[in-house]
Structure 1
C-alpha cells in the first residue's frame, strides 16, 4: 500500500499534465493494492478523478459515449478493479506540521471539505492545493477532529521536514511527546523504515523509552509529487517508490483501519518486492533485549524456562507491554532451537496463562518462521487491569531488559493508576451524533521554550526532570540500617524504604554512590544549573549522574540516558562533558 500520493491538485506537483488515470495505472503496475490520494489541504484531486469517472458512466448510461471515452472508462474499470483508492488529504497544522487524514471510499467529498473548513483551512484555499494556508488548527485538535470523523490519523514524514518529531525545532520535549503519543494518532509515517539499528525511528517508538511508553506503528509512503522518479538518486519519489506491506483479511478500508489502529505491529513492514523475505525474528534479535522485548531458548519446565516466560508476560502486562520470542536465544549468532509442534505449544501456554494469572492479561500468541524452524511469538498488551499476578501473589515488573519482582510501592502505584484510569474514563456516548471537539491548547511558539513538567524543572524554563534513571530523594538510618527513598524517573513513582541489600540494579548503584561516594556539590563544575557528577558507558548507552539546582534545592539523579533528557538539558550536559 502507498497511503501518501499527490496529484496535480497539489500546486507543487512536478508533472501538472499527468492525468488521474495515469496515477492509477502506475499504482497498479507497481503491484499496489491500496492507495490514498492526499493532496495538500484539498480533496480536489480525488474529486476531479471521481467526477471524470461519473461523467463517463453518465455518458455510457445515456448511450452517448464515443469510442475513445469508452476505452477510457474501460481502463478506469480495469485499474479500479485492482486498486482500493481512498480519499484523504495532507493537512498543514499550526507551525507547519503535516498530518494525513485517510477515509473510507464512500466518504462524500463535501464531507471532507467540511472537515478541512473545521480545521480552519480558508474556503478560498480548498481547491488551491498549497502547503501554506495560514493559521489553521493545532496538531492535537487535528488528530481529534480526523479521528472523530472516522479517518485514519497518520503523522506525515514524522522524522523529517514538517514532521511532528520536531527535528531541528526548539519546542521542548513535552511537545514532542504530546505530538507522538496522543491516543488519536494512529501511526507515524517515517522515511527510515527499511533501516536497521538502535537509531531508527521505529526503534525509538517501540515503547522501550519511559517518556514514550506508547509503541507507535511506523509505516512508509512515497509522498509522490510525480508519476515516476527521475533518477535513482533523486529525492523526489514517484508512485509506489516507498511502500508498506500490510497483512489484511480482505482489501477494504475497515480491514486496513483495524490493523492501523491495532496493537499488532508485526502486521506491517516495508515492502521489498520479490527480494529475499525479511526475517523479522532475526531483526528483533539484532536489536537485542529491552524493556519491551525478550527471548527464551525453550518453554520447557525443566530449567525454569516456562516460569521465566510467565514472569516476562506478567512484567510486560504490568509495565509497557512487549513481545516475547520463544524457541530462540537472544544471541543473534546462536542457532535457534525452535518450538516443536507450535500449535500444541500455543494451546498449552494459553491454558497455563488462563490457569495461573489473576486477572488474565491480554496476550496474542502465534508462530513465525526463522532460519528453517518455527518460533513462538507472544504479544503482550499493557493491561488496563494491572496489577497482574502469577499464582495470586507474585507481581513482576520490567526493569530495562530484566524482569524483577515488584516492590510494595510499585504495586501500590499500579493499583492507584488502574483506579485512576477507571475513574477518569469518559461515559459511554448515548447519541450517534458527533460532538464538536473541544479546542486543544496551542503548543508553545518557536520563540517560547516549553514549560517544565509537573515534578519541577531544572530551574530555568525549558529544563525538565530527566525521564530515565533514578533520583535519590531522602535517607534515614534506623537500627543501624540506612533506608532510602528513591524516585523512579521512568514513571515518577516514589519508592520508600529501599536498602542497599534489597535494591536492584540501578537502585543499587544509586544507593552505593550515596552511601560510599556522596556528591561533592561544592567541587562540581556547574553549567547554568546543571552539573555532571559522573559519566560512564554501558553497552551502547551513555549514563550520567547529574545534579540539578532548582531554587534552593538540588536534585541528584543517577543513571540518566540521553533519551531521558530534554533538549535544553541535553545541550548543557553536552557542554559539560566536552570540557
Structure 2
C-alpha cells in the first residue's frame, strides 16, 4: 500500500505530530489566559495525535496540566465534582485517549541556540527538572518559563545530558533565530563546531522553519541528506509550529515570529502507534521515508486565518447545507459591491467546523448558475477546488470588473456589514451611487474641475512591497518605476517621505489643506529662490485621489493658478530638510571612512536618563553579567541617591520598563556578522521599517552599492568593538555619527548587548529616540 508515493508498512499508519508547542507557562506566550484543555482541543481540531509541551527552560506547563487532572480525579474519588468539573475531567480523558502529550522543554544553550528535549509521559517531573538543573538552569527559574538564562551548558554538552536522561534531542528552528545553524554562523565558529552542532550522535532531528523555501547551504533541509562532504550523516529533518498561541494570527499582529498556532507546521510520521517509544525508535533509525513534511500553500493559511476569527468584510465562510448553497450568490453580490473578496464553501461559520463539499462538481455548477441568473452586472468569479484537513472545499474569488452597484434580478442590493451579508440601507446605497459617479464620467459634482496635471513636481503613482522593501512608482515629468526610499534623493526622497507619513497615518492632511472646489493647496515652501507647492486633488466624494509634491507655479492650469492667487498672503515655510545638500548616505561611504567628528576627543558624553524618580546612568559589562548604575530621587526631587553596580538578578520589572526601549521604526540593524567556511564575512540584517530579518547571510560584495544595507555593513565592521568615547549616551541609549537627515543609534539592552541602528531618519524618530536627540540639542 502507498500513500502520496510513500509505502505504508502493514500495521503502520501516518500519524500527525507537532513536537514544538508552548503553553502559558512560557513567559512570552501570547495568550496567557488560554487553558491547557483548550490547547488539547485545538490539537484535536488540527488532527494531531502527538504533541509536546516545550516551554522555555521549564517543564512547568506539562506539570500544571497534570496537576489539574490529578486534582479533578481526587475530587471524583471523593464524589465532590461539580457539573463543570465533571465535564472538564471527561473532556481531558477523552482527548488524552486520542492524543499523546509529551513532557519536554526548549532549552537555551550557552550562546543562545535553542534545543528541544522530549521525554516519555511517565517520566517523573522531578527527574526532568533535575536534567534542567544539570543544564545550568538555576533552581529559582525552573518554574518561570524564562526565555533567557545565563551561563548554561554548551550545545553539544546539552545534547549528551538530555540523551543520557532518556530524552529525545531536536535542534529547534535550526535555520531560524536562535537555531544551532544560525548561531554557529553568527559566532563564526569552526567548521568542526558547526558539524558537531548538526551531526552530533545524540541529536535525533533538525527542526526547520520555512521548510520549502530556498536557502543557501547550511540553512536548507536538503543540505543534510547525507550526500554533502563533511556532513555525511543523514539527518531527520522536520518542522514544528513553535506555537505561542492557539491559532495563527495575521502577520501584522504582535510578534511576527510567534504568529503560528498549534499544528500550523506539523510533521507526519509512519508508526505503529502514537507513543513516545515508537517515535524515539523511528528517530533513532535510518528509515527516512517514514517521515514526511507536508507543504501548505498561502490559500490554506488564508483559511486558517479566517477560521481563527480574523475574517473581514471581504472574507466569507459558508457550510454545505442546501440553504447555504442556495444563498451564497448573495455573498458574491455583496463582495462585488465591496470591490471583491473570497468565499470559502465547506466550512461552517459558527464553530468553524470543516464539513467539506461531498459533490464539488455539482456544487460548483450550481453556484456558477446562480451567480449568472441572480446578479447584474455580472461579477468576475473564479472557483478552485482545494483540499483542507482531508476535505474538499471550494474557494470562490470575486472581482468587480465594473463599477458598483451590483444588484439582484429583483433589484435588491446586498453589502457586507462587518462579517454579515445584509440588504443595503439608504446610506449604503447612496455611497455606492456616489462611487459610481466618482469613477465614471464627470458630473455636476465636479464643479467643472476635471483634473489637469501640473507640469512640474512629482506624484507617487503606486507603492508595493517586495522582499521587505517598498518600491514606488514616481511620476516626474516621466514615470519611473521601482524606486526605493533608500535610493531616492532630493524631491523624490521628500515626496516618498511625505507619502509614507500619509500612508501610515502620521499626518492628518484633511485639516491642513486649503480648498478651492476639488483643488487644494497643502503647503507652500521655499526652495532656493523659488516657491514650491504641495497640491492635492479630491474626487466627487471628497476623497483625495492625487497628491503632487514640489510643484512650481509655471505651467499650471487656470484652476491651479486661481487657487494659488487666493493664497498669496499666506506664510511660506522654510525649505524641507530632504532638499538640502545632504546625500542619503555619508559622502565618504564608499571608502569606508567614518563620517563622524571622531577627531574631536570630547565627542562622547553621558547623561542620566530619568523616568519619574528613577534614573539610569549606564549598563556595564562584568564577568558575572551586566551591572547597572541606577539612581533614585526623593519625593520632592531635591536629592538623589545612587545605586552603583546593581547585578541583573536585583533588577525589578519597574526598572526593566525603564531599561527596555523599542527599536526605532527606521534604519537597518546588523543582527549578526560571522565568517563562513571560506573566511568571508557574512551579514544578517533587520529592516527596522518592516521588522523583517534577512533569511540568509549576505556577503559584502553581494550587497548593492550605495544602499543603506551596504553602509550598515561597513559601519558594523568598524563598530564590532564599540568605542564608548564616540557615543553620546543618555542612560543606555545613545547616538554616533549624526548626519543632517540621518543618525546612527545605539541601544544597550538588559543583558549588556549593544544594538546599533544605522541610518535612522531623524524626522521619523519617536519616543525615547526623539527625546535622546532633543536632550543633546540635535533636533
Q: Structure 2-normalised TM-score?
A: 0.36
- Whose strand fraction is larger, Structure 1's or Structure 2's? 2
Question: Larger radius of gyration, structure 1 or 2?
Answer: 2
